[in-house]
Copies of this chain bind each other. A is one copy, B any other.
Amino acid sequence: MKQPGTERTPSRTRNVPFREKSELSPADPTGPRFRIEDIYPCVDCGQYPVKRICGDSVEVWADIFREGHDTIDAALLWRLETETAWRREPMLLHGNNRWHGCFTPSEPGSYLFAIETWTDEFATWRKELLLKQQNGQDISLDAREGRDLLSELMPREDRARLAVKTAIGNFDTTNDARALLGDELLTAMACIDNRPDLSRSRAIPLVAERERARCGAWYEMVPRSQSSVPGRHGTFDDCIGRVPDIAALGFDVLYLTPIHPIGHTNRKGRNNSLNLTSDDPGSFYAIGNEFGGHDAVHPELGTLDNFRRLVATCREHDMEIALDFAVQCSPDHPWVKQHPEWFRFRPNGTIRFAENPPKKYEDIVNPDFTCADRIALWEALRNVILFWCEQGVRIFRVDNPHTKPFPFWEWLIAETRRVHPDVIFLSEAFTRPKIMKALAKIGFSQSYTYFTWRTQKHELQEYLSEITGHPERDYFRPNFFVTTPDILPLQLQSGEPWMFKSRAALAATLSSNYGIYNGFELIEHEPIPGREEYLNSEKYEIRTRDWDKPGNIKGYIRQLNMARRKNAALRQTSNLRFLTVDDDNVIGFIKESADGTNAIAAAIALTGSPHEFWLHFGDALIGPDGARQPVRSVKNLSTGERRQIEWNGVRLRIDPAGDPAHLFQCYA
């Protein structure tokens, strides 16, 4: 039946195709009708991937709108970068043009997500018709238009098609608008293919890593110092012997300083001295000699087989090995002979040693990342990583990445993850903040931080607020080390056990990734006078220790690690709020798991005298979305003592001589 006047209806061109600005032409300047703005999460306009953990829901937000008052709809698209087909999730309007949707990547890898939006013409028609009807206006023409719209947009899917055809049939028989207003039609029309004005945002990259990238307690160990016999060079077998004890302390990652053959040329003596005695083992950062380079093990440590056994033993104890990836070479490294073009030579024909004037590093040479043969060099370094991956290693702590070109790391990490998407890289860059952040953006899973030197309450609060805030929280994962072989910070040099405990507690609870360097648990604290470095550093000599030396704080560290294992709130970093404490030498905070089922409050003393103070919870709410409540009571994780919240807080006493850190389970 021909409708009067329809011959004048111009053919409708609803599907203004999505086009980028650069594709517009004077002949047809019609760009996308929709704006999709302020997409969250997104790092540097999508230049770098957002970081997330697989299994966690990725919450996506965006402002989505077009002109006018039409009803619109939107969907969240996502896929692995290597896939071609998008998966789709619904998006819902949250309010004020802001929409929300989520997806959960299940395996580690590089993902993309994007947002699609379109005009829902049928819903628009329905909304307007109902408004007119409520207002008593004549809707007969509108009903006819709805019928034509249904017929024009006809879904392809069988059930939906049937529902629409039935409705049209009913309307044609009865001429009653009610035939077009059933809920089944809304459902049917939600799945049409020719979505009017379809616009798509650009794709935002996201890297999903395994949970260890977000959370791990690291134990840094110098393998050659693990022998129990004074003076004997430690071996991988000695390390294997140490694994059960370290695992029992609750550590997740056993991080080994470099295990490769050590150079002879300009080998450093004790305390970084240039005067060598014949039995000095040299710095393990001077990598490479006649026994091999980065893909070899130092013969005195054992064989590759021994190493693989260490890897396996760790796995049996729910730990894993992290290796140290230090690019520099000893002048005796095989590459220096095999690929002299990878290094720089001076006008007198000598190789150029590493230096940062006026400092000199005579026992190492740096490859030239921009040399003519750089591609071969980059590939050789990548092959080192892949070699260790084949030995079962999946975590690399990278030494001084900030002195090598950013594009190298971006490429190396991507190349590694193409083969092994579960590899974790930790950036050991102690440098200016923007450079540390840039390394995180280009792919490092975790980063060393300034924590080691942040001791005052306001410093800690400011620094944590920065790295857990936006945009840092989406790409920068801190790993708080209390000490490293290079750094014995001032606050630990007096060797007060309460301070060692306080620093361990701060690191273990403020950051879900934290680490100690072997000897910390024994309160080792003797510095080179006037410097923040260890005297008799085992970087230059072999140490033998009694790992159960009286006065050790292993029990305390074990307790911290167990609290972390039991409480998801402590296994993440970003969800952190500082609490008010009426004592400037006590820091208070609350952390909560993403699902809101676990909340831990902490009060940690920063000075050694006893403290009595109020811990105020302010307006902090806990619990799952939609059911968030104030904290009503807390239970001390060590003592089990339960306290009611009064006046919005709790009065506490900390005697750091006993335990400088009180941790509480929070109840709503």
Contact = CB atoms under 8 A, between A and B. Distances in A.
B37 A44 contact: yes
A97 B432 contact: yes
B357 A135 contact: yes
Given A97-B435, A148-B347, A347-B141, A67 B405 contact: yes
Interface stretch (A160-168, A338-346, A384-392, A597-605): A338-346
Interface stretch (A8-16, A306-314, A575-583): A8-16
Contacts of A340: 8, 10
A374 interface: yes
Interface in A1-22: 3-6, 8-14, 16, 21
A197 B345 CA distance: 21
Contacts of A65: 432, 434-435, 438
A371 to B, nearest CB: 5
Interface string A397-416: 00000111111001100000
Interface stretch (A253-261, A348-356, A445-453): A348-356
A25 to B, nearest CB: 10
Contacts of A37: 44, 434, 438
B132 A357 contact: yes
A596 interface: no
Contacts of A11: 372
Nearest to A33: B405
A347 B13 contact: no
A358 B45 contact: no
A35 B360 CA distance: 28
A137 B360 CA distance: 10
A358 B135 contact: yes
A131 interface: yes
Given A8-B340, A10-B371, A14-B370, A141 B66 contact: no
A350 B5 contact: yes
B6 A67 contact: no
A244 to B, nearest CB: 41
Nearest to A147: B347
A9 B434 contact: no
A657 interface: no
A373 interface: yes
A626 interface: no
A278 interface: no
B406 A10 contact: no
Interface in A45-87: 45, 47, 63, 65-69
A347 B5 contact: yes
A347 B145 contact: yes
A44 B38 CA distance: 8
B371 A13 contact: yes
Contact of A372 (B6, B10, B342): B10
Contact of A374 (B8, B13, B348, B406): B13
A652 interface: no
Contacts of A44: 37
B432 A348 contact: no
Contacts of A32: 407
A474 to B, nearest CB: 15
A16 B370 contact: yes
Given A357-B128, A411-B29, A373 B10 contact: yes
Contacts of A16: 370
Given A10-B368, A370-B16, A144 B29 contact: no
Nearest to A135: B358
B410 A31 contact: yes
Nearest to A355: B128
B141 A375 contact: no
A3 B131 CA distance: 90
A346 B349 CA distance: 89
A63 B378 CA distance: 27
A174 interface: no
Contacts of A145: 346-347
B372 A67 contact: no
A345 B5 contact: yes
A27 interface: yes
A290 to B, nearest CB: 21
Given A29-B411, A373-B10, A96 B432 contact: yes
A28 interface: yes
A446 to B, nearest CB: 19
A640 B173 CA distance: 83
A67 B4 contact: no
B438 A344 contact: no
A607 B345 CA distance: 80
A137 B404 CA distance: 26
A67 B66 CA distance: 44
A340 B10 CA distance: 8
A115 to B, nearest CB: 15
A145 B32 CA distance: 57
Contacts of A373: 10
27 contacts: A9-B344, A10-B340, A10-B368, A10-B372, A12-B371, A13-B370, A13-B371, A13-B374, A24-B411, A29-B407, A30-B375, A30-B405, A31-B406, A31-B407, A35-B406, A37-B438, A45-B45, A63-B434, A65-B434, A67-B406, A67-B435, A68-B404, A96-B433, A97-B434, A132-B358, A141-B346, A141-B347
Given A4-B348, A5-B347, A5-B350, 14 more contacts: A3-B347, A5-B346, A6-B345, A13-B371, A14-B370, A29-B375, A29-B378, A33-B407, A35-B406, A35-B438, A45-B45, A63-B434, A129-B357, A141-B346
Interface of A: 3-6, 8-14, 16, 21, 24, 27-33, 35, 37, 44-45, 47, 63, 65-69, 96-97, 127-129, 131-132, 134-135, 137, 141, 144-145, 148, 197, 340-342, 344-350, 355-358, 360, 368, 370-375, 378, 402-407, 410-411, 432-435, 438
Shortest Cβ-Cβ A-B pairs, 3 listed = A5-B349, A45-B45, A135-B358
